[in-house]
Amino acid sequence: MFKTIISVLLGLASLCVLAKPFDLIEATLESVHKEIIAGTLSCEDLVRQYIYRIQKFDQSSGLNSIILINPEALLRARELDLAYAKSGKLASLHCASMIVKDNYLTKGLQTSIGSKAMAGFIPDTDAWQVKKLKEAGAIVLAKSNMAEWAFSPRVTISSIAGETRNPYNLHHSPAGSSGGTAAAVASNFGLIGLGTDTGNSIRGPSSHNALVGIRSTMGLTSRSGIAPLYFRNDVGGPMARTVTDATRVLQVISGVDSNDPITQTALGKVNSDLLSLLNVNALKDVRVGVMRELSERESDPQIAKLFEAALKDLERLGASIVDVDPILNFSELSSNHWCRMFREDLNQFLKKYGSNAPMKNLNEIVREGTYSDYIAEDIKAMLAVEDPRSETRSCGDIYSDKRRVKFRDAIVSAMDSQSLAVIVYPSWLFPPGRIGHPEDYKGDNNQVIAPHTGLPAITLPMGYVGGLPAGLQFLGRLFSEPQILPLAYAYEQGTQHRKPPALFDRL
C-alpha cells in the first residue's frame, strides 16, 4: 500500500514538468500506440494526463461522471512501460485507459453499483470482461457513476455520487444507466469505456453523448462479475469515440466463459480479427432497411430531419435504402417482454461474489434505506416480487423463451425476405432531456427490439440538435457483428459527425 501511495504522489507531482503533453482530445488507441512506438509518449505520461484532466474538470464543472480514480493506475502504467521496454511489443490494448461502469467487479477497487449501501465493497476478483481487458494490456483508470442499481434509462443519479450531467450541455441528461461512462469518454477523460445495457443503457447514453455504443449479440460476451439488473437481458460492452476503438474492445471481450453458460452459443462464431473487416467502402451495394414503426413514431422534427439526412448519407456512400415491409402484429410481438428478475438475480450475484459486501441481499438493502429517492418505489416493488414467472409470462433467455424467439424470427424473416443487411432507425426520437424535466425523457427506441430478441445493435453519431447529440442505430442478425461493424465504420468515416464537447476541448 505504501508503495502505491508513493507511486501515485510522485506521478501527480510530476504533472507540471511534462515538456510536451500528448493531446488527449479525441485520442485513439492507434494514436497512442503510434506515439509510444515513436518514443514520444509513455503509458505513465498518458495515464497521468488523464488523471489530471479528470481532477481539473469533472467535479469543478458539475459534470460528475467519475466515482473514483484507480489509485494504482499509474503503477500499472509503469509496469506496462517496463514490459514494452523489455519486449518491444505492444499488446492489443496496451495502455488503453478504461472508464469502467461501477457495476463491473474490479479486483481491489470499490464496486458500489452506484449505491451507498455497497460503499466499501472491494471485490477480490475481476469481472470476466475486465480480466480479459487487463490481459490485453488495458488499465482500469476510473470507475464511473451510474443510475443506482442501473434502474433508469433516462438519468444517471446515484446515492453514492449524485447526478451526472451531459457534457454538451450541463442542463441536460446524459441518459442512463451508463451515463457516467458516456459523459467521461465523451469528455476525453479516458480512451474507451465499459457500460452495460439491459434495455438502453449502453446505446442511450452513447447516443446522447456522440459516442459509438455496442450492444452485442446475447452470448457473444460474458456477464459474469457484472451486477445484474435483469440478467436475462443484461449485456456489457464498449462505449467509445470511434468504431475502431469500440471494435478493439469488443474483439477482446468476446468469447466463451464457463461462468456464463449463454456464451456457449458463441462457440465457432467469434471472429478472430474484426479490425481487418473495417472498410470505408463497406456500404456499397448493401441493402439497408428502414423500420418506419420506429422512425416515424412521435419524434422531434429536428431528429426526423437528421434521420432523413442520415439515409441520404447512406445512399451517397453506396447503400440502397429499403422500407421494411410492415411486420404483422409488431406491437403485440414487441410488448410485455419485461420480467422483474432483479431481486432473484441480485441475491444470486451477492451470494456468489459478495463475500466482502456490506449487504447480502435485497431485503437488507431495502431495510438499510440508503438509496436515491427516485428509485425508492421501484426497489421496494422489486422486493415484493416473489417469483416473476408467476406473472403469466415466460422469463427465459433469448434462445429458450418462445415469445422472444417468435419476436426475433419476425424481425429476421422481414430482413431475409427483402435481403437486408441491417435495419436502421434513430436511437432516440428526441434530444437529451433537460435535467429536472421528466416530461422531456421520451422517444427511446433502444428498448423495443434488441434487448428482447438478443439481436446486436450499434449506435453512432448522426448529428446534433441545438448542440446536443443524436444517434443512428444499426440492427442486425444474431452474431452478425462482422457484417454490422464495417457498415457502421463506413458511415462514420463518410460523415465524421463526432466532435468533442466544447466545454472540455482543451487541457
Using one digit for the tens of pLDDT, what is the confidence trace for 198-212? 999 999 999 999 999
- CA triple 127-204-53, angle to 5 deg: 70
Inside any domain, residue 17: no
pLDDT in tens, 308-328: 999 999 999 999 999 999 999
Give me the amino acid identity at 40: T
Inside any domain, residue 139: yes
pLDDT of residue 392: 59
State how far the alpha carbon of 17 is from the alpha carbons of 6, 20, 237, 343, in Å. 18, 9, 36, 51
Alpha carbon distance 260, 258 (integer Å): 5
pLDDT of residue 453: 98
For 307-353, the DSSP string reads HHHHHHHHHHTTPEEEEPPPPTTHHHHTSS-----HHHHHHHHHHHH
Inside any domain, residue 11: no
- Of the candidates 311, 192, 196, the one whose C-alpha atom is nearest the C-alpha of residue 242 is 192
* Contact yes or no for 214/121 (Cβ under 8 A): no
SS3 238: strand
State how far the alpha carbon of 283 is from the alpha carbons of 288, 307, 324, in Å. 9, 17, 18
Alpha carbon distance 201, 180 (integer Å): 11
* Contact yes or no for 215/457 (Cβ under 8 A): yes
State how far the alpha carbon of 365 is from the alpha carbons of 90, 150, 359, in Å. 44, 15, 6
Alpha carbon distance 66, 189 (integer Å): 9
- Of the candidates 199, 188, 174, the one whose C-alpha atom is nearest the C-alpha of residue 142 is 188
Given a cut of 90, is residue 422 above it in pLDDT? yes
pLDDT in tens, 392-407: 568 999 999 999 999 9
Diameter over CA atoms, the chain: 66
Given a cut of 60, is residue 14 above it in pLDDT? no
Given a cut of 50, is residue 115 above it in pLDDT? yes
Inside any domain, residue 12: no
Which runs of E-coded beta strand occur in 145-293? 157-158, 162-163, 192-197, 212-215, 235-240, 287-290
The total of structural domains in the chain comes to: 1
Alpha carbon distance 224, 228 (integer Å): 9
Given a cut of 90, is residue 57 above it in pLDDT? yes
- Of the candidates 235, 133, 255, 241, the one whose C-alpha atom is nearest the C-alpha of residue 181 is 241
Q: What's the domain range around 385?
A: 22-504
Inside any domain, residue 4: no
Given a cut of 50, is residue 19 above it in pLDDT? no
Higher pLDDT, 18 or 56: 56
pLDDT of residue 448: 97
Tally of CB atoms within 10 A around 389: 13
pLDDT in tens, 149-204: 999 999 999 999 999 999 999 999 999 999 999 999 999 999 999 999 999 999 99
Inside any domain, residue 8: no
Give me the amino acid identity at 441: Y
The CATH code of the domain that includes 91 is 3.90.1300.10
pLDDT in tens, 327-342: 999 999 999 999 999 9
The residue assigned the cell 471472429 is 271
**Structure-block grid coordinates of residue 45:** 505520461
239 — phi, psi (to 5°)?
-130, 120
Alpha carbon distance 235, 451 (integer Å): 9
pTM: 0.95
Q: Crossing angle, helix 342-353 and helix 376-384, to 10 degrees?
A: 90
Looking from the CA of 446 toward its CB, the CA atoms found within 13 Å total: 34
pLDDT of residue 394: 80
pLDDT in tens, 121-152: 999 999 999 999 999 999 999 999 999 999 99
For 77-107, the DSSP string reads HHHHHHHHHHH----TTTT-EEEEETTB-BT
Spell out the residues 6+ positions from residue 416 whose beta carbon is closer than 8 angstroms to its own: none
Which runs of E-coded beta strand occur in 108-231? 139-144, 157-158, 162-163, 192-197, 212-215
Inside any domain, residue 3: no
* Contact yes or no for 328/293 (Cβ under 8 A): no
* Contact yes or no for 225/268 (Cβ under 8 A): no
pLDDT of residue 391: 60
* Contact yes or no for 317/350 (Cβ under 8 A): no
Determine the average pLDDT of the residues in 32-43. 98
Alpha carbon distance 305, 89 (integer Å): 47
Inside any domain, residue 6: no
Alpha carbon distance 283, 486 (integer Å): 8
- Of the candidates 216, 152, 193, the one whose C-alpha atom is nearest the C-alpha of residue 450 is 216
Alpha carbon distance 147, 154 (integer Å): 9
